[in-house]
Amino acid sequence: MDKIAITTKNLNKSFKIKRGEIKALRNINLEIKKGEFFTIVGPSGSGKSTLLRIMSGLEKDFSGKVLWNNLTKDDFSFVFQQFALMPWLTVYENVEFSLLSKNLSESEKKSRIHHELKKLGLDKFADSYPRELSGGMKQRVGIARALVTNPKVIFMDEPLSELDSFTAKELRREILKIWKETGATIIMVTHRIDEAIEMADKIAVLSPSPGKIIKVISNPFDRPRDLRSPKFFKLEDEIYRLIR
């Protein structure tokens, strides 16, 4: 139990619409270990983002249970698909945003922010505004904002889907490096099967709506993963057939 970070038990979620209800998630039972890189993969509309929002506490209207094992909301961070940066704040102030509720001295905050900015190559852009940055840099700011709180669990909702393939590849490496260095649990949603296989220890495959867990696959490949090996493609095909 001590090794488990988050558990969901018989989790169900429906959305009310004009003519009744739509079931988004059905009987989700998951166990995510501490320090694990866990991905949730599925087609559009399978409820992946909804599941992530429920697990992170952003969505409270559901049935079933979500158990945080010795964790509180203070231990969580989130990286958003469309970056969620405040356009009226500089890069420095956007990263500072996640520390506003923390009981830290100004010098401690400053030190942490500069550390994260430097780590992500943003130190020269501290005074820039989000509109002056590329998509990849905006997401780096989002990641810096998530890391500066020293989280135990980082939720990522399709963090690379808005980026071009070169930038996404670069950031995948960056995220894996961060995960190794911090030892945080990362729970990432993606619609890209190859991305899930490249990054994850475990892959939860969701069915099309209503989303239910078809299978949780333990990634058999050692890191670093060979993205062009026949075994990699074979696993990718297997997951694709599960979803279809």
Partner 1 sequence: MKKSHSLKIYKSGWHLAITLAFVVAPFLFLLIFSKIGGLNTSELFGNLGISLLRMFIAYIIALALAWILAVSFFRGKRALIALPLFDVVQSFPTFAALPLAVYFLGESNLTVIIFLVVTIIGSMLFSIISSLKLIRFDWEDAVKIYDVHGWSYVRKFLLPVSIPGLITGSIIGLGNGWQALIATEIIVQVKSGLGSFFSLFSNNFAITSFGILGFLILIFSINKLVWTPLLERWHSRMED
- When binding is defined by CB under 8 A, the residue of 9, 74, 181, 233 that contacts partner 1 is 74
> Per rule CB under 8 A, is residue 131 in the interface with partner 1?
yes
Task: Tell me the CA distances in angstroms from 4 to 30, 190, 192, one per residue in order.
Answer: 10, 22, 26
> Per rule CB under 8 A, is residue 100 in the interface with partner 1?
yes
Piece in contact with partner 1 (CB under 8 A), picked from 6-14, 69-77, 164-172, 176-184 = 69-77
What residues between 80 and 99 interact with partner 1 by CB under 8 A?
80-90, 92-93, 97-98
> Per rule CB under 8 A, is residue 101 in the interface with partner 1?
yes
- For the bound state, the minimum distance from the C-beta of residue 239 to partner 1, rounded and expressed in Å, comes to 28
Give the sheet arrangement for strand 76-79, strand by strand.
Answer: 76-79, 153-157, 185-190, 37-41, 202-206, 213-218
- For the bound state, the minimum distance from the C-beta of residue 225 to partner 1, rounded and expressed in Å, comes to 30
What is the Cα–Cα distance from 8 to 175, expressed in whole angstroms?
Answer: 25
> Per rule CB under 8 A, is residue 238 in the interface with partner 1?
no
What residues between 149 and 168 interact with partner 1 by CB under 8 A?
149
- For the bound state, the minimum distance from the C-beta of residue 57 to partner 1, rounded and expressed in Å, comes to 8
- When binding is defined by CB under 8 A, the residue of 14, 35, 43, 129 that contacts partner 1 is 129
Pick between residue 127 and residue 237 the one whose CB is nearest to partner 1.
127
Chain positions contacting partner 1, by CB under 8 A: 53, 56-58, 73-74, 76-78, 80-90, 92-93, 97-98, 100-101, 126-127, 129-131, 145, 149
